[in-house]
Structure 1
Amino acid sequence: MNQPASKSDVAKQLQKEILSLQGFKTASDGPQRSFDFGELEAAFPNQVFPTGAVHEFLSTAREDAAATTGFMMGLLGKLLEKGGACLWISMNRTLFPPAMKFFGIEPDKVIFIDLDKEQDVLWAVEESLKCDALTAVVGELNEITLTQSRRLQLAVEHSRVTGFLHRCNPRSLNTLACVSRWKVKPIPSQLEEDMPGVGFPRWHVQLLKVRNGEPGEWKLEWSGGRFNYLERKVKVLGKETMLQVG
């Protein structure tokens, strides 16, 4: 005799079906892979960083843009661990390619495309996201409409390519069809005692919006080839506070 499904089982199945319709790859669609992002992944549906989706990153100052680029390279390094290639499309690229090795990215795995007009950047990003031979596409631009972002999301749902949109100084924070919205700021690094130079890069990372997930906030450092958490935001008696890790 078949046992009736519990309410929790029914809810989980419905959630999987909804996520599948929204472009998330669920266990029924194929094996899921953890990218060793730690608590970041717990904020997403099924506790897995969404691939085959478009992520939005916001920067309002040059130092924020540099920190955001570093954080994105940490994510990309994990996405490219098992092979594949990435296209990096922009108008005013300031990235120093050899520095990518610090984040586990071989420079020859990234193809840079420098264009003159933002309209051309958006077109190139959309066409690149349709190419299932790629693992990821990074697009640096300022403005994009909801309709344009929907075209990007439709492209990745078919190709399963992961897209990163880095928006520097956008005129408006309009709603997009991206699965997440991030904001990253630099925080001071820590030097070993009596050691010269600078320490490992540290960031204050805010996951402002995430579709069907839980927004979060962390202070973390990139060292030893991974994200190491310094502080995380938790709720204590209904109030949010930053809790030091370790």
Structure 2
Amino acid sequence: MICVGVANQKGGVGKTTTAINVATALAAIGWRVLLVDLDPQGNASTGLGIAQSARGASSYDLLTGQAALTDCVVPTRIPRLDVVPATVDLSGAEIELIDLDQRTHRLRAALSGGAAAARWDICLIDCPPSLGLLTVNAMVAADSLLVPLQCEFFALEGLSQLLQTIERIRAGFNPNLEILGVALTMYDRRNNLTEQVAQDVRTCLGDKVFATVIPRNVRLSEAPSHGMPALIYDHRCSGSEAYMALARELLDRLPQLKKAA
């Protein structure tokens, strides 16, 4: 199972929207997908229609060793897409993990459990908007990172901090971690700043930036309130079409997964 972290320490960049819609797109074209909700807000779980009452064992239990991976998995209404939901308990995990053995490798150990992990082709990890122990666990567990980046000035400053963190993770915990790609989100062609930020990011990171851009789209914003990804809520909207294109680009950058096809 290939693990891809969806990470950006800045909030409001479309990270969770990207995680659930890319996961849905991959499932729609035949991949067996596991989405791990590692954000205490639990938005990925809500966006996939998992009610609070349906969240028994969660990513908190997985990290603290109170439950095995198979005990935490909840199927979604989307064929081939399962989720490890998040509950409010996860908000205390940052403090509790400090006293546990291998605190930075807890998620990696939980996801590499042999036969259980073989149920899925790919795992997407929706990280919280911070660079704490939860995100560190995701980066240690991940083979690569998908970085959603909002097209605004402050996003560039946040990207610099994220790149420094990735280098520290490589040096100390996961030397194979790489950036799979940066996805430009909330793209508005009517805004000159949007275009300038996009050009600056492409100049800085070159082909690490996906060709597909995710536009500002009201249907993307509406979908979570209905407990479903935009690809299910309105598969014809520009946002859904963009996420399908992004998923295809992602597959092209994952040779192991492409080969399995």
Q: TM-score, normalised by structure 2?
A: 0.40
Bigger radius of gyration: 1
Bigger fraction of residues in helix: 2
Structure having greater relative contact order (Cα 8 Å, sep ≥ 6)? 2
